[in-house]
Chains A and B, each alone.
Chain A
Amino acid sequence: GESVGLHLPTLSVQEGDNSIINCAYSNSASDYFIWYKQESGKGPQFIIDIRSNMDKRQGQRVTVLLNKTVKHLSLQIAATQPGDSAVYFCAESYHTGANSKLTFGKGITLSVRP
C-alpha cells in the first residue's frame, strides 16, 4: 500500500549523527505537545511530550525543545540509528472554552543512511 511518508518533506541523516526535526505549531494557546513516530505499516507511537510551562524535556536519546515565543517545537535524536527511520509527527493540544482539541502536524520523514 502507499506509504504514509509519501509527499512529506524528508530529512536524511548519517547513522550516528544527531537529528533535529522541527515543527511549527499554530495556536499560541496550546498547552501540551507530543511527538509521535510512525513506522511503515504501523500506527503512531508516542515518543515524548512536553507541557507549555517547560521549554525542554529529555528522554532516552531524545530531547524535545519548546519555544513558545515563535511557536516552535523540535525533536532531537542523539546518535541516530537505522531503526529511527520513520515519519515523525508533532501534535498540539489546546482548550477552547468547554472543549479541547488535539491537532496533528503533517509529519516529516526521517531517513537514516548507513
Chain B
Amino acid sequence: EAQVTQNPRYLITVTGKKLTVTCSQNMNHEYMSWYRQDPGLGLRQIYYSMNVEVTDKGDVPEGYKVSRKEKRNFPLILESPSPNQTSLYFCASSLLSGLTDTQYFGPGTRLTVL
C-alpha cells in the first residue's frame, strides 16, 4: 500500500531532551516536507526537501533540523525541544515539486513538550 508513515504517533517529552520523529514513504517520491498544525494557525511548513541531500527552510524552521540521506526517509530532529514546539506534526511527500503535485500526508505525530 502506498503510504507515508511517521513514528512515533504520540510523544511526551521534557524540555531540552533531543528527539527525532521519523518519516518514510514508499512511493519513490522526490519531494518531502514537514508541517506543524496548531489551532487557529493551520498548517505551517517547517522544512522541505526537493531530493536527496537537498533541504530548505519553510516558514517556521527555528528549533528544527532535518536530513535527507536517502530518498524514502526524511526525519525531523528537535535538538533541544521547548514547550512552544508542542504541536501536531505531519510529514508529506509528492512525486515532484510538491507545489503542482498532490501531496500525500502521514497520519501525524502529536508531540507534547513539558
Chain A positions within 8 Å of B, measured between CB atoms, are 1-2, 4, 6-8, 31-32, 34, 36, 41-46, 49, 51, 89, 93, 95, 100-102, 104-107
Q: Can you name 29 A-B residue pairings with CB atoms under 8 Å?
A: A1-B110, A4-B39, A4-B88, A6-B39, A7-B39, A7-B40, A8-B40, A32-B99, A32-B100, A34-B102, A34-B103, A42-B107, A43-B4, A43-B90, A43-B105, A44-B105, A46-B102, A46-B104, A49-B102, A89-B43, A100-B99, A102-B99, A102-B103, A104-B44, A105-B42, A106-B40, A106-B41, A106-B42, A107-B42
A2 vs B88: C-alpha distance in the bound complex, in angstroms? Answer: 10
Number of A-B contacts (CB under 8 A): 57
Our pick among B45, B90, B98, B99 for the contact of A44 (Cβ within 8 Å) is B90
CB distance from A4 to the nearest CB of B (A): 6
CB distance from A109 to the nearest CB of B (A): 12
A95 vs B97: C-alpha distance in the bound complex, in angstroms? Answer: 12
7 more contacts with CB within 8 A, not counting A2-B39, A100-B99, A104-B43, are A36-B105, A41-B108, A42-B107, A51-B100, A100-B97, A104-B42, A104-B44
Interface positions, chain B 83-114, Cβ under 8 Å from A, are 88, 90, 92, 97-100, 102-108, 110
The answer on a CB contact under 8 Å between A102 and B45 is yes
**Interface mask (B17-50 → A, CB under 8 Å = 1, otherwise 0):** 0000000000000000001010111111100000
When distances are taken between beta carbons in the complex, the residues of chain B under 8 Å from A46 are 102-104
When distances are taken between beta carbons in the complex, the residues of chain B under 8 Å from A107 are 42
A36 vs B66: C-alpha distance in the bound complex, in angstroms? Answer: 25
Our pick among A42, A44, A51, A100 for the contact of B43 (Cβ within 8 Å) is A44
When distances are taken between beta carbons in the complex, the residues of chain A under 8 Å from B90 are 43-44
